[in-house]
C-alpha cells in the first residue's frame, strides 16, 4: 500500500510542477457552487492531466517512469475525485443547510467528474480530441437533459433527464449512468497512449 501511495505521490508532484497555474486556476473555479461553472472547470481540469499528455503525445514518456497504464488511469481519477470532494465540501461548510444535505453537491460534482473523465479517456483512446468531443457531448447531454421535466406524471416528462449527468434529475440513476460511462473506457480496451491494445 505504501508503494502505491509513493508512486501516486511522485506522479501528482510531477503533474503539479508542470501544470501548476492551470490546475490552481481551475481548482479555484470549483469552489463556485454553480453547476455550469463546475462543469466547465471539470472539462478543462480533467483534460489537464493524462488526456493532455495523450493529446500531445507525452503519454509514452510516462511509461519510462514506474507507472503502468492502469495506475495512470487510477491516479488521475483518484486525484481529480479528491479535488472535487474537497472543493465541494469546503464550499458547503459555510451554507446553512442540514448536514446530510451538504453531501448532495459533492455527489453532483462527482457525477459530473466521472462522466466527463470517462468521455475524455474514451475519445483520447480513439485518437480523437478528448476535450473537444467531450465538450460537445456535455453540450448535447445538457440540451437533451433539460428538455421537458423530470416529473413522471407530467405530459412533458423526459426520461433522459433522470440519467443526464448535467441535469441529474435522479441522483442514483445519474450516478449509475456516469459510472457506466467512465467504465466504458475499460470495455473498449483503450491503451492510454492513444492506441488500442494489440
pLDDT digits (tens, 9 = 90+) for 149-181: 988 888 999 999 999 999 999 999 999 999 998
Domain segments of the chain as ranges: 2-187
Q: Taking 70 as the threshold, does the pLDDT of residue 192 lie above it?
A: no
Predicted pLDDT at 168: 92
CA atoms of 157 and 151, how far apart (whole Å): 6
CA atoms of 124 and 167, how far apart (whole Å): 25
| More confident: 195 or 185 | 185
Mean pLDDT calculated for residue range 85-92: 83
Contact (CB, 8 A) for 137 and 119? yes
Predicted pLDDT at 57: 64
CA atoms of 124 and 145, how far apart (whole Å): 25
The pTM of this model reads: 0.84
For residue 65, the surrounding DSSP H or E stretch is none
Q: Taking 60 as the threshold, does the pLDDT of residue 48 lie above it?
A: yes
Predicted pLDDT at 189: 45
Q: Taking 50 as the threshold, does the pLDDT of residue 193 lie above it?
A: no
Q: Taking 90 as the threshold, does the pLDDT of residue 113 lie above it?
A: yes
Predicted pLDDT at 167: 92
Predicted pLDDT at 103: 85
Mean pLDDT (the chain) is 82
Mean pLDDT calculated for residue range 113-140: 89
Q: Give CA 147 to chain center in angstroms.
A: 23
Q: Taking 90 as the threshold, does the pLDDT of residue 43 lie above it?
A: yes
Cell numbers 492551470: residue: 22
Mean pLDDT calculated for residue range 33-53: 86
Nearest to 126 by CA among 57, 191, 46: 191
CA dihedral 171, 174, 175, 181 (to 10 degrees): -170
Q: Taking 80 as the threshold, does the pLDDT of residue 51 lie above it?
A: no
Of 44-48, 184-188, 194-198, give the lowest mean pLDDT range: 194-198
Q: What is the DSSP string of 108-167?
A: HHHHHHHHHHHHHHHHHHTTS-HHHHHHHHHHHHHHHHTSSBS-TTSTTB-THHHH-TTT
Amino acid at each position: 500500500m505504501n508503494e502505491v501511495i509513493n508512486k501516486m505521490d511522485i506522479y501528482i508532484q510531477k503533474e503539479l510542477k508542470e501544470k501548476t497555474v492551470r490546475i490552481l486556476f481551475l481548482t479555484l473555479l470549483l469552489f463556485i457552487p454553480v453547476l455550469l461553472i463546475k462543469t466547465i472547470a471539470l472539462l478543462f481540469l480533467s483534460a489537464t492531466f493524462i488526456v493532455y499528455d495523450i493529446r500531445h503525445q507525452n503519454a509514452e514518456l510516462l511509461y519510462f517512469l514506474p507507472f503502468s497504464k492502469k495506475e495512470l488511469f487510477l491516479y488521475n481519477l483518484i486525484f481529480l475525485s479528491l479535488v472535487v470532494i474537497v472543493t465541494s465540501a469546503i464550499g458547503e461548510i459555510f451554507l446553512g443547510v442540514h448536514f446530510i444535505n451538504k453531501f448532495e453537491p459533492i455527489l453532483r460534482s462527482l457525477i459530473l467528474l466521472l462522466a466527463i473523465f470517462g468521455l475524455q479517456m474514451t475519445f483520447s483512446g480513439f485518437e480523437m480530441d478528448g476535450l473537444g468531443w467531450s465538450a460537445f457531448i456535455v453540450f448535447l447531454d445538457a440540451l437533451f437533459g433539460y428538455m421537458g421535466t423530470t416529473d413522471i406524471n407530467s405530459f412533458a416528462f423526459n426520461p433522459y433527464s433522470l440519467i443526464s449527468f448535467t441535469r441529474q434529475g435522479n441522483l442514483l440513476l445519474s450516478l449509475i449512468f456516469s459510472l457506466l460511462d467512465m467504465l466504458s473506457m475499460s470495455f473498449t480496451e483503450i491503451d492510454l497512449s492513444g492506441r488500442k491494445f494489440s
